[in-house]
Structure 1
Amino acid sequence: MAGKRWDGLARDVGRGLFEALLAVLAGIALLVAAVVGVALTPLGVGVPAARAALLGVRVLAQRQRRNATERYDVPIAQPYRRDRPVVLRDPATWRDLRWLAVEIPVGLVLGLMPLIFAGGAVNFVVLSAIWAFRPWPEALIAVPALLFAGALARLAPAAARGALRLHALACANLLAPSRRALATRVEGLTRSRAEVLDASALELRRIERDLHDGAQARLAALGLSIGLAEQLVHARPDEAVQILAEARASGDQALADLRSLVRGILPPVLAERGLAGAVAALAAAMPLEVEVGFEPGITLSAPAESALYFAIAEALANVAKHSAARRATVRVRRAG
């Protein structure tokens, strides 16, 4: 048990030293580069340096988020917007720079704490050994020194771990999104959810209308025609045959309507080609020229792809029906 405690302390000492060195060396270099690059940006010569430095700051901040989450169970939410590059207009960039300015002294102090605790325990052990060989009664000083060394050795693993966790909590306080940003994100998600529910309700009403006006009406007429043919089959067989032929045609049309409705619920092209291919096929079938562009790397769940496909289809149908436009553009990109 004691061996595991000291093994854990040794790991914490190593991690603390690494965090301290990273805070001082990389932190100071990136902070100076970012400040100088931003200061020279109005002159037009600092833009590349500022972008590179800010990207480095973001990489360092992301590393700290992962470190706090995986090692110390301190989750830190991602504040970045995917549609915003690493520029000063992104509030997350200012948050990262503020964190880096505080991280340099705080990371240095808290990173060295495990070494201080472990070194203190070793130091008092050495002092107790030295005082034990001093003349009497000075040798008695070795007793409290040894007791203090034992207390430090007992507390050092937990104290070292606590110092590193405190460092993670401090980083979480500086790197996590603000309450205002979280509230804005929640509001956006709530609005998106309401829009999805509205779209689902509209889609259900469309399906109900198509069934009522299409397949349901044709099947009802089919039943009446078959009933009439049954009444005429003996008295006027020629008319009965004609009515049955018409009923068959009506049944074929009802089947075609149902197939069309099923394709509208889940288009086969969406499963075969994916969202980009399905939208491209949809654009090719429109009576106007449609330009389609997809941001690379977008992956969505099947329900999300289906909802987006129908939203695009409805938008293009409205353009073709209610406007005199000769061309339309569809752009799909991730906005958050």
Structure 2
Amino acid sequence: MTDDRPRAAVQTHELMLALVRGPALAVATLPLSILLFVLSVISIALIVVGVGVFTTPLVLEGVRTYANQRRYLVDKWGGLPVPPPYRPFPPNLREGVVGQVERCTLLLKEHATWRDLVWLPADMTAGFVTALLPPLLPINHKLTKTMLEPTKEMLLARRVEQLYETRHDAVDSSAAELRRIERDLHDGAQARLVAMGMSLGTIEALVERDPVRAKQMIAQARENSAEALTELRDLVRGIHPPVLAERGLPDALRALALRMEIPVEEDIDLPGRFEEPVESAVYFAVSEVLTNAAKHSGASRVWLDAVYSQTPSGPMIRIAVTDDGKGGADLDSGSGMRGIERRLAQFDGILAANSPAGGPTMITMEVPAAPIDPGPAS
């Protein structure tokens, strides 16, 4: 015969919590839901006379704050995660009256805004009743989740939008890379090869009448050819480093750490090989972050950590670059960091910065990736 006392104790504890939480939620639900719904209706109606253009964004952002708080309570009390469905505002949103009109338009075009407004009457009626009666409180968790979580259509639309943006960024990055290669070839190796061709023509004319001068020019041409070869190798290394192609991402990152101007302590635990485009993106992202730390942070030491792990969303490469510099780094402070962010976004990767004034700075990167060759068993 099993002892049901622990289970009964848990149920009693949950009932006591519901007796406290339910009435408190009901007291807050009714006035806030009514107030926000009435203000939203009035403000939207006043758009036709111009006043609502300025009041509607404020009211709707208040509705979002209220809805997000309820999402938080549903997760905390009921263990039902409800992610916010809102799309971020574009970074180039203008200021002033024009920007206010754009903000109002974007909010009203957002499908999640209207779902919030439909949820408010349900919250002030069914939500109020289910919160007032403690046994029905779980229904109130579930009702809120159903009405406030992103729909499949919203998630699909957001995914399509993200794919469009990353495709656009990939095209731009490829075009910029091609322009860089063309510029480096034109200004470097091509110029030296043209000069060599001219020198060889002059040498041909000088071989018989001025052998000494011809020998000097031959030596100079040899030096130019060696320099052109070095520049071509550097250019190829910039496109795809040989160590990355030959030995994979772990050894390439270790080699990158050794070449830095300041000491870099590395802790790299990555298995085998990954897809070549992923390896290249991660390598150049880490290279850019390390270079920024060496040039701009004033740091005396950098720590590079790279691990591979299985997460609920799938296999993931996680990288952290930490320095003891002056801090103050910002994802929006320069094109370099935005370029890294765009490079990783092509593979659904993300970039985050934690850099308070005075330091330290930690740049973290996550890229979904599974090894295609796990390497030898350890």
Confirm or deny that 1:189 pairs with 2:156: no
Aligned with residue 142 of structure 2, among 127, 147, 169: 169
The equivalent position to 2:33 in structure 1, one of 27, 39, 51, is 27
Show the counterpart of 2:125.
105
* CA–CA separation in structure 2 for the residues paired with 1:10 and 1:307: 48
Question: Do 2:184 and 2:235's aligned partners in 1 also have CA atoms closer than 8 Å?
Answer: no
Q: CA RMSD in A?
A: 4.7
Q: 1:305 aligns with which of 336, 339, 344?
A: 339
Q: 1:57 aligned to 2:30?
A: no
State whether structure 2 residue 103 is matched by structure 1 residue 85.
yes
| Pairs aligned (count) | 233
CA contact (8 A) 1:210 1:261 kept: no
Matched position secondary structure for 1:35: helix
Aligned amino acid, residue 59 of structure 1: T
Instruction: Summarize the alignment of residues 248-259 of structure 1 with structure 2, pairs less than 5 Å apart.
Output: 248-256=223-231
Between the two proteins, what is the percent identity of the paired residues? Answer: 24
Unmatched 5+ stretches in structure 2: 1-5, 90-101, 201-206, 241-283, 298-329, 344-378
Cα distance, 1:16 vs structure 2: 1.6
- Are the counterparts in 1 of residues 115 and 147 from structure 2 also a CA contact under 8 Å? yes
Q: Return the alpha-carbon distance in structure 1 between the equivalents of residues 43 and 126 of structure 2.
A: 24
Q: Is the 8 A contact 2:22 2:131 kept in 1?
A: yes
> Which structure has more RCO (C-alpha within 8 Å, separation ≥ 6)?
1
Determine if contact 1:215/1:258 at 8 Å carries over to the other structure: no
Cα deviation for residue 181 of structure 1 reads 2.8
* Structure (1 or 2) with the greater strand fraction: 2
Q: CA deviation at 1:58?
A: 1.3
* TM, length-normalised to structure 2: 0.47
Contact 1:31 1:97 in 2 (8 A): yes
Q: Secondary structure at the match of 1:81?
A: coil
For 2:73, the equivalent position in structure 1 comes to 67
The answer to whether the Cα contact below 8 Å between 1:218 and 1:251 also exists between their aligned partners in 2 is: no
Per-residue deviation, 1:204: 7.2
Contact 2:331 2:338 in 1 (8 A): no
Cα distance change of structure 1 residues 197 and 53 upon mapping to structure 2, 3 Å threshold: closer
1:176-325 aligned at under 5 Å gives the runs 176-196=149-169, 198=171, 215=189, 239-256=214-231, 271=292, 272=295, 298=332, 305-306=339-340
- Per the TM alignment, residue 17 of structure 1 is displaced from its structure 2 partner at its CA by 1.7
Alignment check: 8 A CA contact 1:69 1:75 kept: yes
Check conservation: 1:207, 1:261, Cα contact below 8 A. no
1:179 is displaced (CA, Å) by 3.6
TM-score, normalization by structure 1? 0.52
Q: Which runs of 5+ in 1 are unaligned?
A: 118-162, 226-231, 275-295, 310-336
More helix by proportion, 1 or 2? Answer: 1
Deviation, 1:210, is 7.9
One-letter amino acid of the structure 1 residue matched with residue 17 of structure 2: R
Equivalent residues of 2:331, 2:337 under 8 A apart? no
